[in-house]
Amino acid sequence: MAQLVRHALHHRPRNVLDVLTNCDDDEDERWRLLVLEDTGELLTSDAKERTGQGLSRFLNVVDGLIGQGLRVLVLVTTNETLSSLHPAAARPGRCLARVEFVAFPPEEACEWLAERGHKAKPAAAETLADLYARLSGAVPSVRPPIGFRIS
C-alpha cells in the first residue's frame, strides 16, 4: 500500500486506474486496496431512482477491475443499513463480506469506556465514533430521531 501511495504522489497519475494498474514489477503479487467512502446513494435498493445509472456504472467498473485480473479489493463504506443495499451490490461473488457497525448498547459502551480508563456512563446507545469522541474529551451530541411519530 505504501508503494501505491508513493507512486500516486510522485508520478501524478491521471486517474485511479493508472494507480491500480501501474506496477514497478510485472511479478508483483500484492493486492491493492481501493477505498470508496460514503457511496450509499449508489448502492441502495432505490439507487436507480436516486442516481440514474450510477449503480450500474459502479458495478461495471468494479467487475471490470476484477475481470482484468487486477489484484484489487474494493472497500465500500456507507451510512446506509445493510438491509437497504441493492441486492446486486451485495450478492455472493461480488461482495466478500458485509460488516455493519451498530451503536453499542449503554452497558457495552460503559464497559468499552471503562477498559480505556474513562468513567462516563452513557444513558443511550453510542457509536464507536461517539465513544472515541468521549475519550478525547468531547461530549457526543444527542441526535434527534429522524422520521415521523404517531401519537
Q: For residue 17, count CB atoms less than 10 angstroms from its CB and return exposed for 0-12, middle for 13-18, buried for 19 or more.
A: middle
pTM, 2 dp: 0.55
Residue 118 is predicted with a pLDDT of: 92
Residue 109 is predicted with a pLDDT of: 94
Find, among 86, 79, 85, 76, the residue nearest to 143 by Cα: 79
Residue 60 is predicted with a pLDDT of: 80
Q: What is the SS3 assignment for 99?
A: coil
Residue 10 is predicted with a pLDDT of: 54
Instruction: Identify the helix (H) or strand (E) that includes residue 42.
Output: helix 40-43
Taking the chain (151 residues) in runs of 10, the rounded mean pLDDT of each run is 49 56 62 80 72 75 74 81 79 79 92 93 90 86 66 57
Residue 22 is predicted with a pLDDT of: 62
Residue 1 is predicted with a pLDDT of: 47
